[in-house]
Amino acid sequence: MRLSGKLSLAVLISGRGSNLQALIDACEDPGFPAAIKIVVSNRPAVYGLERAQNHNIPVQAIDHKQYSSRETFEDALSDALERHAPDLICLAGFMRVLTPHFIRRWEGKIINIHPSLLPAYKGVDTHARVLADGGAESGCSVHYVTAELDSGPVIVQRRVPVLPGDTPDILAARILEQEHIAYPEAVRRIAETMNG
Ligand code: GRF
């Protein structure tokens, strides 16, 4: 890595990109130990791409629908990423499941944010499931991506209470605020570890 001493990041998104924005804002602090080199979306014309462009960060849309298989899509994604040689690939609301084909190629360099306290509530519809179970708390986890979905080592977690009257949307919003703190914190911890 890192002539500048900073960890170089690629951020993968599929939508509105509020976690991307949290990373952009963190990286704009000169003391933050990472910089975003490229933002890639698997959906064209999403708001997250605009957020990156507003900060002069290179963007690329790679529409998964244009590819005949997950692997050919992933190869196009890897080719785009390789041009920027990222130290770390941050999945931020990236809604494609990545296969071992991609994960092996970037072994140990992919992290994700998931809106539950992993290992609880892997997969989708986390908030509805937490509420259906009558859980007292939930939260978010930033974790390494491994071949098994939402199962890699956790880097940072932040907790929130589940409150009376919560709906999935209300709980999601409370957790999202914590995601925006957790993601930059996880990147900082990784940068500090890699810098020894
Ligand atoms: C977040 O809740 C994240 O945990 C989940 O997808 C959502 C993405 O939101 N994986 P945003 O695009 O970062 O605003």
Domain boundaries, the chain: 7-194
Q: What angle do CA 168, 158, 37 make, to 5 degrees?
A: 95
Residues marked active site are found at 114
Q: For the residues 85-110, what does the mean pLDDT come to?
A: 96
pLDDT of res. 120: 98
Ligand 1 atom 9: residue of nearest CA: 93
CA 153/CA 102 separation, integer angstroms: 18
Q: Answer whether residue 54 shows pLDDT above 50.
A: yes
Q: How confident is the model at residue 74 (pLDDT cuts 50, 70, 90)?
A: very high
pLDDT of res. 110: 98
Q: Answer whether residue 179 shows pLDDT above 60.
A: yes
Give 127 Cα–ligand 1 centroid separation in angstroms: 13
- The pTM score is 0.96
Q: How far is CA 131 from CA 39, 57, 125, 171, 192, in A?
A: 33, 38, 10, 9, 36
Is 114 a pocket residue for ligand 1 (Cβ < 6 Å)? yes
In CATH terms, 7-194 corresponds, of 3.30.420.40, 3.40.50.170, 3.40.1380.10, 3.40.50.300, to 3.40.50.170
Ligand 1 atom 6: residue of nearest CA: 93
CA 23/CA 11 separation, integer angstroms: 9
Q: How confident is the model at residue 3 (pLDDT cuts 50, 70, 90)?
A: very low
- In contact, 41 and 25? CB cutoff 8 Å: no
Query: Which residue intervals of 42-119 are DSSP H helices?
Result: 47-54, 70-82, 100-105
Q: Answer whether residue 107 shows pLDDT above 60.
A: yes
Type of residue at 167? T
